[in-house]
Amino acid sequence: MTKSEPAGGTTTGSGDIARSLDLLWGTGERPSRGPKPGLTLDRIVATAVGVADAEGLDALSMRRLATELGTGTMTLYRYVPGKAELLDLMLDRVQGEPLTTDASEVPEDWRSAVEGMAHTYRATLRAHPWLLKINQARTVLGPSALRGLELALTGLRGTGLAGPELIGVIITVNSFVEGLARTENHAVEAVRETGLSDAAFWEGQHPYLERAMLSGDYPHMASLPENAFASGFDHFAFGLGRIIDGLDALVRQRAEQ
């Protein structure tokens, strides 16, 4: 009889929370019988991340992971209870990849810190696109998650904002980065699934859009220059800059109170 895996398996904190925390913080007991020599929790998680990076989360199962590791599925369960707990470990691992261990390396200027936060998260999402498929509303907080929050708060120390506002800054920046990253990822998936390039897709609509613009029904759209939707425009830099501008206004307001 084998263990069943929860459907989907893409929601953090959906497994045995106590077991995930034990594994994340190194307090769980090491399997006492039957492990394959050389099999470690670190190797298991690294292999799982590798499969997800290459083929997506749908390709990852405990059976597939056991095959990649050259061991039996039941042996794997002695280390990790199931896919839900494995997901908690994978998330904490990739969150920890870009983190510095020295808080003194965090920029003293909060604007630079926010820029660094955004660019780092963007790089992480590009390296691990499967992160965009995960519901992280109830993330199990492991060492990397807490370290990331600590460094983010260190970078925002000069803002003078209150606690909830500081968390709001982090959520706002992360949500912006995730939104653009998801759009970029969807564009890549659309090309892969249809075999049609972006240029070819929009070119096919051109005659219809041209007639619509000449109809007079869309005056504001028709008044836009041809390069208004240019793919070379840096939406990331533009949006991030406006977020920082808005935060700067709030920080100045707080300083004057």
Q: Domain spans of the chain?
A: 17-93, 103-256
Please enumerate in sequence order all residues whose Cβ is within 8 A of that of 1, keeping only pairs 6 or more positions apart, or say none: none
Task: Tell me the per-residue pLDDT of 190-225, one tens digit each, with 9 for 90 and over.
Answer: 999 999 998 899 899 999 999 999 999 999 999 998
Q: Is 165 exposed, middle or buried (0-12, 13-18, 19+ CB in 10 A)?
A: middle
CATH number of 103-256: 1.10.10.60, 3.40.50.720, 3.40.50.2300, 1.10.357.10? 1.10.357.10
Question: For the segment 33-52, what is each residue's pLDDT rounded down to a tens digit?
Answer: 555 456 899 999 999 999 99
Residue 71: predicted pLDDT: 94
Q: Residue 230: pLDDT above 90?
A: no
- Summarised one tens digit per residue, pLDDT across range 60-85 is 999 999 999 999 999 999 999 999 99
Whether 1 shows a pLDDT value over 70: the answer reads: no
Please give the model's pTM, rounded to 2 decimal places. Answer: 0.88
Residue 91 confidence (pLDDT) above 50: yes
Q: Which CATH architecture best describes the domain 17-93? A: Orthogonal Bundle (1.10)
Question: What mean pLDDT is predicted for residues 186-193?
Answer: 92
Nearest 5°: the CA angle 34, 38, 43 is: 105
Most confident listed range (33-37, 167-171, 183-187): 167-171
pLDDT of 21 > 50? The answer is yes
